[in-house]
Each structure stands twice: as structure tokens, then as C-alpha cells.
Structure 1
Amino acid sequence: MLLGVIQEKNRNTFTVTDPTLILQALVSLKDVRVLDYYRDRQNVWLRVEQVLKGPSCPTCRTRAWVKDRPEVSYIDLPVYGKSMRLIWRKHRLTCPNPACAATTWMNTDPRIAPVKGYLTTRAAKWATKQVGTGRTVKEVAHELGCDWHTINDTVTRYGAALLKADRQRVNRTCAIGLDETSFVRLKRHHTSFVTTVCDVENHQIIDIVPSRNYIDVAHFLTDQPKQWKERIEFGTLDMSPTYRAVFNVILPKVTQVVDHFHVIKLANNTLDQVRRRVQQDQLHHRGRKNDPLFKIRRTLLVGQDKLSEKTSERLTCLLTLGDPNGEVAITYRIKERLREFYDQTNMESARELLDELITTCRKASMPAEVQKLGATLKTWHPQILAYHHAHHSNGITEAMNNLIKRVKRVGYGFRNFNNYRTRVLLYAGKPHWRTLDSITIP
């Protein structure tokens, strides 16, 4: 038994002593013969030749002749801390059959390098993964010893092929999120926006839609497989009428959930608007550092349960000085009641509290800003209340937008949407990188 194990180990052990064979093994290219290897101050040069086994004419299947052997240089993976150039000694073949329409052709092998490309196949896939996982194009180009455009074109080409071939990337999910993010600032007062479609359950970006209008977003969801759409139970959004219309028409059975962050933000904005108006009505100028309401502008936005006793007393005193009619104080209490709504653990108690808030806000005695808040809460009542049923939020989509912003910072912004979409999905779309090994670009 022991002898059998030793013999098996010997068969798997690399015992070649010929330097040429060792170099061929290190090069790790199939059906390739190493012809030459040398180094200079900048690059490592490796000359190889493909081993042909009975080449034949693709038209008449007659055995082909070698007419010429041109050499083509490609950018290869770096070695020993230096960039490497692979010189491929190709075979230009010709058909000896005079009746054949084929004249001459170049023998190609996509395992070594694609026909239209400056990088070897393995270098192109390596560069795609490096850029796709967060490195800058400039860094990868410097390491390979080439220019920025060469790497960017390669990453876009192979990245798009990976996203198309990776059919397992988009998982079945029960919750998706829609959110807008800025793409490029075209003019001073005009910014182009795109829509992020996020898998809230699996924390990944499904795709990027080139705009935020109803037609494009609805068209994207319509094109998705029927089984995938039927499994979706919840759709998270940020009080956008456009995205609500998309869910109502394309996914009518989905329970829409408004993100609690945006609801609290809306209440904070309402409180700040009331404070600014009261400040202007009382003192007839914008807030200054010694004005009572200006001193507590940030304290008003903090939850009451997070304030110390000293801070609470200071808040009460300054509200008394700067808010004689109590408009800011009542708006502050409404904001706090809205925060209490999200602390409820029972659906019925949450519903009663939300209905009470809406009724209070819509009273004629309330400030105009608070009445507007009440109208908004009434409009989005089902979506706001659904948070207690779904326990999903658009926070995951917002987190994915942070990853998108990181890609934009690394790339110093984008103008080409296809490049932008590819880079974002490679970084935050969770592609299966093993699929890249099986991709062949002719």
C-alpha cells in the first residue's frame, strides 16, 4: 500500500531537467514552443511559436502550406517586476489547390491572443479582474507597460463579455430597490441621472438603467424573465412618483416600501423650513450665530432620546426665546412622533400612530409646511406603513450607490454610459470571476 502511494506521488512530481521544457511549463501556453527569451532595461521579451498539427484549408480541407512567418508583439503578464512582451511567430498559410477560392490566411489561436487586440488573452483577463475589483486603469497600465486607452478598451471588451456570459450573476430575489444616482454633469444646471436596480436581499447591483424616466425603467423590468419577476415580493423606493408608477404597472403585486431614512429626512427638512421662516419673521434676517433658533439648528435634527439633560434644557430655553408662537416646537414634536412610529413593534399600533400624525399635520391651525408634510404622508401611507411588514429598506440601494461613487472617483468621472455600466457591475454586481476563464474572444 505504501509503495503504491510513493509511485503515485512520483508520477505527479515535476522531474523535467531540460531548461527549454521547464521554460515552456512556466510560460503555461498550450501547443506553444519557446524560441527565445531575453531581458532589457524595460521589458522581458519572450518569443514563441505555435505548434501546428496538420494544418488544412478551411474551404477544401487540403493540407495547407506555410507561406510566411510574421512576428506580432503582444503585451503579456508582468514577470520579475517588469512588464513582458510576447512575440508570437505566426504562420501565414496558403492552399496549394488551384481550384480552391481560398488564397492565404493567418493562423490564429484565441487561447494566446485575440485577432484584434494588443494584449494576450491571459493578460487581458488579468487586467479586467484587476480593474473590476477596484484598481485604477492607470495603475494596471503602468504595471503592464502600456497606455491607458489600451487597458480601458480591453476591460470594457472583456467585462461586457463576462457580464453577458455570467447568467448566474442575477440571483432569484424577493426584494429589489430602485434609486437614482447622478451620472454626469452636462451643464451648470443640468445633470444626467441613471437608475440603480439593486438586489436588496443579496446586496448586489442587478443593472444600471441609462435614465430615471418611466419608459426606460419599465422597459428594463419588462424584459426580465417571468419567473424572476413572479418571485419578487417587495420593492423599495425613495418616495419617487416615477418608481411608484413603474411598480404599479409592471409589478402590481409587489408590496412597495418607502425607505424610513427618506421619511425622517422629509420631516427634518420640514422642521428646518419652519425654523428658517420663523427666524425671518421674528428678526427679519437670516440666521446669525447669536440668534436663538440658529444656535439650535442642528440640535433640532437630533433625536430627543439622544440628547443629554443639559442639552434638552438648552433646547427648551432657546425655543422659548426664538419661537414665541410655538411653530418650531410643534413641528419638532411631530418629527419626534414620526421617529416613534418606526420604533413600534405592532402593526396596528403603528397604523394608529401614523393616522394620528396625518390628522394632526393636516389641521388648519398647523404651519403650512407641516400641512404639506401631512399631505405627503397621506399620499404615501401604504408604502410607509409597509415598512413594519417587510422590514426592508432602500438602505442597501443607497449603500450600492456609495460603491458607484467610489468607481466614479477612481475613474475621475465617466462620460460613456457603456463604460460606466461595465465598471460598476464588475465592481458591485458580484460577477463570477471564474466565468471569465472560459470566455474566448476571437
Structure 2
Amino acid sequence: MTPVRAGTGPARLLDMVPGRSKAVFKTWLEAQSRDFREEIEVVAMDGFSGFKTATAEELPEATAVMDPFHVVALAGDALDQTRQRVQRETTGHRGRSGDPLYGARKTLRTGADLLTQPQERKLTRVFAADEHVEVEATWSVYQKIVAAYRHPSKKDGEHLLQEVITSLRRGIPAKLIEVKKLGRTLNKRAADILAYFDRPGTSNGPTEAINGRLEHLRGTALGFRNLTNYITRAMLDTGGFRPLLHPHLR
């Protein structure tokens, strides 16, 4: 992410290793030089706890930042799961064309500040039904998290998100299964989530962009049988060898 944060160019791939686990990441970090590890200031990551623990053990001075996209995605998943559960409980079947909740599935995931008047009326009709109160409660949590990240003031945004996380620690009705689960996750990772506001601009987006390029590479290659060849092609395709080929760019 360094070139992105420094404004000198796109992110690049550092390496590729088989597997996705704490042990894999920890082993890779251990194999790097001490100077390399000591220069790492920030590690942006998704919600996978293995990356978090490996970072804490091998890079104790680095700041772990849970990417906003993944935090919002967790809240969005909770909203979707609540809607689907209530749909089944109230109708006895999965969402179908003509079902109010199914028809509002995309509108529910739209930021409140971006809703059109027709969309607002649609949600008003959905929330008017008493049996949809759990969906409305989860939607409210989702919207508060989105609003915190969109707040023009990072300080105020952090305060708003802290309030949301704190509110989910206790007192959640037992029926709101998805919200309780979300609350446990957010409170467990609160420090990493809120660290974003002290490190504005830190995002896992560059990682996802590189992953997209790798998926395209894998698709056009119609499969790789030689892992070494695959890693070499991937490094070339994502600028991984750039510092070696152009040392003056360091």
C-alpha cells in the first residue's frame, strides 16, 4: 500500500504463498528481515482473525486497521440474514417476487442519505408491518455504521462508530440474533476498526484490486499447473518485481 499512501503509484504484490491461515502469514513474516518488519507501520486487513493474531505477534509496533469496506460488509450481512430469517418466519418460504421484504432487499442496503423519495416510501411501507420490526432495528444499526464512515469529520465519525459499537455490547433483545453476533465481532475488533480514523486513507482496497487482476490472470491462463510459474506470472502482472527492475523507484 506504500505507493498508494505516498501518492507515487499503484500498490504492488509483495509475494504469494500457498494457503490462507495465521500460520502461513506468520511464517512469511518470520522469513522477512528485521529491517523490513520494523519499517511496517500499518497493516490493513479484513475480518479474518488469523491475520490479526499473526500481525500482533510478529509486528507488535504496527497498527492493525480493519478495512471500512469489510466492517460495513459485516453489518450488511447481518441485515441480509435478518431479512431472510424474518421472510421465512412470516411467510414460510424464501423471498419471491411480490414479497415486500424481498422487493426491498436492494433498497435496504442503500445509504439513507442516498435514498430517493420512492425508495423512502417503499421502506416506510415495509417498516409499517409489526412483523418487520427486527429488520428495521438491524437496518438502523447498518445505517449508523455507514453514516459514521461517511461523516465529513473523522473525529466525529469515530465518535459515532464508537457509540454504535458500545451500544451493541449489552441489552440487545434475544430475538435479534444477527445483531448480537455482529456486536460480538465489532467489540472484539473495536481497536482495529476505530484505528482507521487515526489512519485515514488506509484501505484494503488496493489488495482487492490486485486480487481482481490475479483472478483475471488465472482465468485467461485457463489454469496453472506449475505453482512457481503462477507466482512468477502473478508478480510480473502486479508490479511485484518493480523494485528489483527499477531500484531508483525505491
**Short-chain TM bin:** 0.7 to 0.9
Name 2:194's counterpart in structure 1: 385
User: Once the two structures are aligned, what percentage of the paired residues are identical?
Assistant: 34
SS of the aligned residue for 1:204 comes to coil
> How many residues end up aligned between the 2 structures?
241
TM-score, scaled to structure 1: 0.51
1:214 and 1:237 map into 2 onto residues whose CA distance is 13
Q: How do residues 248-263 of structure 1 correspond to structure 2 at under 5 angstroms? A: 248-263=56-71
Q: How do residues 9-408 of structure 1 correspond to structure 2 at under 5 angstroms? A: 173=2, 202-321=10-129, 323-324=130-131, 326-346=133-153, 348-361=155-168, 362-365=170-173, 367-391=176-200, 392-408=202-218
Indicate how the Cα distance of structure 1 residues 365 and 433 shifts in structure 2: closer, same or farther if over 3 A, else same: closer
Structure in which a larger fraction of residues adopt strand: 1
Q: Is the 8 A contact 2:79 2:135 kept in 1?
A: yes
2:9 and 2:51 map into 1 onto residues whose CA distance is 19
Q: Is the 8 A contact 2:15 2:235 kept in 1?
A: yes
Structure 1 stretches of 5 or more lacking a match? Answer: 1-171, 177-199, 437-442
Structure in which a larger fraction of residues adopt helix: 2
Deviations 1:315-357 (A, max 9, x none): 2112324x53511111111101001111235555334322321
Indicate how the Cα distance of structure 1 residues 174 and 425 shifts in structure 2: closer, same or farther if over 3 A, else same: closer
1:174 and 1:215 map into 2 onto residues whose CA distance is 27
What code does the residue aligned with 2:193 have? I
Deviations 1:178-213 (A, max 9, x none): xxxxxxxxxxxxxxxxxxxxxx98510010121112
2:102 and 2:22 map into 1 onto residues whose CA distance is 41
Alpha-carbon shift at residue 432 of structure 1 (Å): 4.5
1:276 and 1:175 map into 2 onto residues whose CA distance is 39
Q: Alpha carbon RMSD of aligned pairs, Å?
A: 2.6
Structure showing greater radius of gyration is 1
Q: Is the 8 A contact 1:350 1:385 kept in 2?
A: no
Q: Is the 8 A contact 2:46 2:204 kept in 1?
A: yes
1:306 and 1:281 map into 2 onto residues whose CA distance is 30
Alpha-carbon shift at residue 231 of structure 1 (Å): 1.5
1:276 and 1:435 map into 2 onto residues whose CA distance is 52
Name 1:421's counterpart in structure 2: 231
SS of the aligned residue for 2:105 comes to coil
Deviations 1:233-273 (A, max 9, x none): 10011011111111001101100011111111111110011
Higher RCO (CA < 8 A, seq sep 6+): 2
SS of the aligned residue for 1:257 comes to strand
SS of the aligned residue for 2:43 comes to strand
What code does the residue aligned with 1:237 have? M
What code does the residue aligned with 2:192 have? Q
Indicate how the Cα distance of structure 1 residues 400 and 317 shifts in structure 2: closer, same or farther if over 3 A, else same: same
Moved over 6 A (4+): none
SS of the aligned residue for 2:150 comes to coil
Alpha-carbon shift at residue 386 of structure 1 (Å): 0.9
Indicate how the Cα distance of structure 1 residues 434 and 387 shifts in structure 2: closer, same or farther if over 3 A, else same: closer
1:430 and 1:375 map into 2 onto residues whose CA distance is 37
SS of the aligned residue for 2:79 comes to helix
1:311 and 1:347 map into 2 onto residues whose CA distance is 29
What code does the residue aligned with 1:217 have? F
1:201 and 1:433 map into 2 onto residues whose CA distance is 12
